[in-house]
Amino acid sequence: MNKRKREEEEEEGIRMGTDIVWQTPANPPHPHDYIFRNGIRYVKPYYFEFIAHVKNRWAGKTIVDLFAQEFKGRPYEYYVSAVKCGRIQVDGERVSVSYIVKSSQKISHFVHRHEPPVMACEVPILQKELDVLTVCKPASVPVHPCGQYRKNTVVGILQAEHGLAPVFPVHRLDRLVSGLLILARNASKADIFRQQIEGGLVRKKYIARVVGEFPKDELVVDANIDYNAREGRSTAEVRDSAKGKAASTKFTRISSNGAQSIVLCEPITGRTHQVGNYQIRVHLKHSGHPIANDMLYISDETVDRSSKGSSADRSACTSATALTSSIEEKVVNDCEEKSNVGFSIDPMCTNCPNLAPKGYDTDEEGLWLHCIQYSGPDWTYECPYPDWAKLTQTT
């Protein structure tokens, strides 16, 4: 890019700055924020103010070097242009590219935000009470805003499409896991759930589709969970090992066709953040029967991706939609018809003209791991089984 063209883009960025409506976390999502294409839910790119405060280790760096070194998702030249045109500010003021930041200063980065896509599934409401809401979370959709996800989350979709806010997720389900999600409708109810979970008063049940013929007899896996940051995954260690944290999971076979099995998974003990997450995945791997499409814990040779041509995400999506199929199918179709509109291209955006940010795969699969029940001292909430829990008998 020549110097004149860059200057024109910077000038365009300055002119745009006077007309842009910058969103913050306080701005709620709306139905018109979503674009549905080919079974994928996109978020229409929007302008957003990211706010951070200068950490002690950042102090003394130039504003451009700070961003180039700490936020490597964009090229150095972008940050130079962003500072020059005011897309990056310090304490609400424009600064020069050689400005030296000081500890605790407020830094604003005004970006054209592209959120990662998710499957175009509804979020079916299972139960709606005065203080509690339960939904069937589809695979691929994060529970709450995190990282690059904000509107493409269960919390965001519930607010945009059902007007339900605020809601407080009671427990975690990883993005690729589907099933029962409990949300408190006020902070006090959320705190009651939190105390019961931390006090070991809550039982959880999941089902998984695993490799091979799982044993008929109940199996309890007692093995420490040790997270390997370098490999980005956990391993199971013997109980008396100094590595990892103690964890125990009970498994019961529900059905099997010889090649794969449906297994009931009940975490007995374990760290709160592991339960229903890596604990089940790691313990199934340790048992010799990993989740049949868990690419993190299974070799490519044993993965059966076919499932009659349906990915786990689509299967989970189908299961969720089946709860209120006719209504929700119409909603998705109507959304697709109404959302086939374009969006403004930002001259400085490194993701435009694409809808999704760079590096995200729209064909990503969800795990064959599904939460079916949570129960406490005087309550029980449940979620229907997904379609992938029906095994085809082998010949």
Enumerate the active-site residues.
Answer: 174
As beta bridge partners, residue 47 has 112
Residue 336 is which amino acid? E
With CA atoms as reference, report the closest residue to 186 among 171, 172, 166. 166
Quick one: CA dihedral 217, 218, 224, 229, positive or negative?
positive
Contact 142, 172 (CB under 8 A): no
What is the rounded distance in angstroms from the CA atom of residue 340 to the CA atom of residue 213?
46
What is the rounded distance in angstroms from the CA atom of residue 162 to the CA atom of residue 28?
12
What is the rounded distance in angstroms from the CA atom of residue 155 to the CA atom of residue 45?
18
Please list, residue by residue across 198-236, b when 16 or more beta carbons sit within 10 angstroms of its beta carbon and e when fewer do.
eeeebebbbbbbbbbebbeeebebebbbeeeeeeeebbb
DSSP per-residue letters across 49-107: EEEEE--TTTTTSBHHHHHHHH-TTS-HHHHHHHHHTTSEEETTB---TTPBP-TT-EE
CA atoms within 13 A on the CB side of 318: 11
